[in-house]
Amino acid sequence: MKLGIMGLTSSGKTTLYSLLSGIKYEAASLLQLEQKLKVATVKVPDKRIEMLLDKEGPSDKLTYPTIEIYDTPSLNIPAEKVDGNAQAISILRDADGLICVVRTNSESSPESVLGIITDIKNELLVADLSIIEKRASKLQQQILRGGSMVEQDKKELAALGKMQTQLESGKDLHILKADADINRAIKNYGILAIKPLIIVLNLSEFQLQPEVQDKFKKIIAAQYSDYIALSLKLEYELSQPEFSEEEKKSFMDEYKLPGLHIHDILPLCYKKLGLITFFTVGKDEIRGWTIKQGDTALTAAGAIHTDISRGFISAEVIPFQHWIEGGNYKNAKERGKLKLEGKNYIVHDGDIVHYKFNV
């Protein structure tokens, strides 16, 4: 799974990329200046892995679920030239979800923040309509020329027409996904309007005060229920090794913060992307695996290795809550909490799974 980080110039998106990836800001900024694609594979925080290690005993290796993040070139709105944002949008089309970073200052109001988000979404909408119109024009020419693909071209053209109407009227594309032709077009062209959107507000230090945050939350959450507000500058400074735990606590107390929020971003992205984690436990490795919500035991087996799905016999499953109640895998099994499941079993978040297979 891939996340594209986008934002206007000086929004803080490269700082966010640096914080999530662990890459020094100076190095990330240099890549930005050189207009090189910045991609990193990052661990998704999950305390359950430490809990498994604590209860199950030593393991040679801990492996967290991961996700790829991309820092894109800054968006210019309005664009200085036609297709001025083409490079950034091309990267975003390949992403499964979008993180939109919006920077505020002491003068910013919640309404002005919503205006920036709307401007960015409109830029993406224009890009979607442009790619739809170009493809539709090409299909019309192909249909006029005739050939073996005419019927398929007509279906795609009809699907694009429905998508265009929906986008131009400001309606949600999700209600059209049941149409196989539309769903195929959405995937083929990386339509941005349908990608999960996560809002990150990069607040000034003044705006970290609870009363100011409450004002923002009341208005922002009405349109974007899942968003994260934090000061990227402060979080970056506190992430540096020269800060002691005492100094960090002093900062937290000064700004009346319950804690840092950078580690809340990837779990929220997981939720928005419809992802869950299941676990495998052994002396050689305790590992979290990423799958889509609703995936079967057979699909989850393929996430580990194609040989396991190919030779699937059964899956021994202990739900995480039952494992907690049992204290460890052995005790949960002895208490009858282990279930033997077939390939059509729907894996749940936190399931501890042991596969039996033969190849």
Encode pLDDT of 262-312 as tens digits: 888 998 998 999 999 999 988 888 999 999 999 999 999 999 999 999 999
Encode pLDDT of 102-121 as tens digits: 998 878 888 999 999 999 99
The pTM score is 0.87
Distance CA 102, CA 114 (A): 9
pLDDT of residue 191: 93
The tokens 């970056």 sit on which residue? 236
Q: C-alpha distances in angstroms, 264 versus 45, 188, 218, 227, 245?
A: 9, 31, 20, 10, 20
Q: Rounded to 5 degrees, what angle do the CA atoms 47, 19, 62 make?
A: 35
Distance CA 66, CA 40 (A): 10
- Superfamily designation of domain 294-357: Beta-grasp domain (3.10.20.30)
- Note whether 111-191 and 294-357 share their fold: no
pLDDT per residue, tens digit, the chain (359 aa), is: 899 999 999 999 999 999 998 888 777 777 666 566 788 999 988 899 988 888 777 777 889 999 999 999 889 888 777 677 888 999 999 999 999 999 988 788 889 999 999 999 999 999 999 999 999 999 888 888 776 677 888 888 999 999 999 999 888 888 887 788 888 888 899 999 999 999 999 988 778 777 888 888 888 888 888 889 888 988 888 888 787 888 878 877 876 776 677 888 998 998 999 999 999 988 888 999 999 999 999 999 999 999 999 999 999 999 998 888 877 778 888 888 899 999 999 999 999 999 999 98
Distance CA 189, CA 186 (A): 6
Q: C-alpha distances in angstroms, 75 versus 52, 108, 198, 358?
A: 43, 20, 17, 51
Q: Does domain 111-191 have CATH number 4.10.860?
A: no
* DSSP 8-state assignment for residue 194: G
Domains of the chain: which residue ranges? 2-46+65-109+195-270, 111-191, 294-357
Instruction: Look up residue 163 and give its amino acid.
Output: M
- Superfamily designation of domain 2-46+65-109+195-270: P-loop containing nucleotide triphosphate hydrolases (3.40.50.300)
Q: Say how many C-beta atoms besides its own lie within 10 A of residue 277's C-beta.
A: 22
